[in-house]
Amino acid sequence: MAHPRKRRSAAAVRRTAKRPAAKGQGTLHSAAQNSAAQTSESQCLTLEIDNLTSDAQGVARRGRDVYFVPGALPGETVEVLLDGRRKKVWQTRLRQVLTPSDQRRDAGCPHYRQCGGCDMQHMSSEAQLEAKQQRSQREFQRQGIAVEQWLEPIVGEPWHYRRKARLGVRFSKAEQRNYIGFREAASSHISDIDHCPVLVQHPVLDWAAWRELISGLQGRDAISQIEVIAADNALALVLRQLKPLSAQDQQQLCDFVARYQQDAQPLQLWLKDEHHSQCIFPQHPPAPLWHEVQGLRLNMALDDFIQVNARVNQAMVAQALAWLQVTENDCIWDLFAGHGNFSMPLARLSQQVLAVEVQPDMVASIQRQAEKLALPLLAKQADLSEAGCLQALPEPQAVLLDPPRAGAAQVCEELIRRQVPRIVYVSCDVATLARDLASLTAAGYTVVKAGIMDMFPQTHHVETMVLLQYKSKNRHG
């Protein structure tokens, strides 16, 4: 839960944007420092932290009062400033750590505490993983979900793993310069960064250089975002423009990118508005972006959702295929199929794979690629939040679903009605996953296996996979 933030003047916003990032243990969130200096009525308390919330805030208790402390760890004694009470919980700001935990470490990014992109860098990798494991198990227990076997977590590299990210760009008229970075924690303000250690590595991802470049353009106020898309065959940079850039500005951008061009990882520069996207570097038509999954090259459109952690994604897909135990004659549904991350590899194991996705352009892309690769896959367009959206599909022997954060409540009703023998459910929100599992287990399913996947190191977000089997003696067919 984020603490409420007071509206600040333009001058205060500029001071926050210019402040250097806080370093070392026991420091305040940089935005909170400014607020604390202006809020003399804030009460200072010493607290003992005994737990973590689902979004990695420390939890302390005094009598009937509960306190949330961002940046604190279990076992620590901390000094905090009270920042208001909401729903019987005190929101606080960490002032200093008096007794640090053995699990505390120095953050690996100089912008930590100011940038809102990560919230767990003050924890060791082992502590992060343990917190995520406990969170998944806690959510399951709240819903009464029994798991026959918890597997070892799937992990990857803790840094430089993120292959897709969107940075904000803001032009300050008062200062006549641009800010480039991610939003501050609990704020819409953009926090200036120079480099991001969770992004893939490439010399062109020097945001201080980009800041200087954009601040010198005629259309310096016309760029609102920079998106990074690291495919296996190229690194694409997509600039969102609010109005068309001049030919001179476009040439400056191209000249800048050309300085960083590498044969090993070619660069692409795109301009995008509400209606279309245009590649301005290189000048000749660029090669389609792709990434490899299970030996298959899957095309990536600029707007496609992809799992941001390539190494964890490879292991995740391999585990899902192993759990499903697909045979050649099985009918398999891949629901919320995206661009075919699971369904393409599944189509090498089964002669009847149905990939269901709501976005028509992604459905068309899946079908084109399947035909090109000669895979027995049929892509279908359907809104999986609507009742009856799957009624026309043939009976499946196994289903894989990877829904958005809202979960798959409507889909679960259809799976229960069909009494599908095997289900692999991949989730990026363990709370909605546990809710859906409660419905499935109440209807005769058993959670045979479960495991977390550390798709987003340095953040509290966790990916979870479960295998369900239908074990009712009354199953038809």
Q: Give binding residues for S-adenosyl-L-methionine as ranges.
A: 307, 336, 357, 402
Check if the beta carbon of residue 15 is closer than 8 Å to that of residue 34. yes
| Terminal-to-terminal C-alpha distance of the chain | 47
The two tokens of residue 398 are: 């196994």
Closest CA to 136 of 399, 452, 443, 363: 452
Binding site members: 307, 336, 357, 402
Question: 381: which residues sit within 8 A by CB, 6+ positions away?
Answer: 356, 357, 358, 359, 360, 363
Query: Taking a C-beta distance cutoff of 8 angstroms, is the pair 453, 320 a contact?
Result: no
Do the strands 44-52 and 57-62 form a parallel or antiparallel pair, or are they unpaired? antiparallel
3-state secondary structure 159-183: CCCECEEEEEEEEECCCCEEEEEEE
Bridge partner list, 69: 58
**Calculated CA dihedral for residues 69, 71, 75, 78, nearest 10 degrees:** -60
Cβ burial of 274 (10 Å; 0-12, 13-18, 19+) is: exposed
Among residues 118, 389, 412, 428, the one annotated as catalytic is: 428
Query: CA-to-CA distance for 69 and 48, rounded, in angstroms?
Result: 10
Element (H, E) at 130: helix 125-142
- Reply yes or no on whether 44 is catalytic: no
What are residue 67's DSSP bridge partners?
60, 90
Dihedral sign for Cα atoms in the order 348, 354, 359, 364: positive
Nearest to 449 by CA among 69, 129, 153: 153
Task: Give residue for tokens 């959206």.
Answer: 389
Which two tokens mark 240? 């969102």
Alpha carbon distance 410, 446 (integer Å): 19
Distance CA 67, CA 57 (A): 10
Specify the 3-state DSSP secondary structure of 387. Answer: coil
462 membership: H or E segment, kind and range:
none
The one-letter amino acid at 213: L
- Burial label for 324, CB within 10 Å (0-12, 13-18, 19+), is buried
The CA distance from 191 to 114, in Å, is 7
Residues 135, 430: Cα–Cα separation, whole Å: 8
Positions annotated as catalytic residues are 428
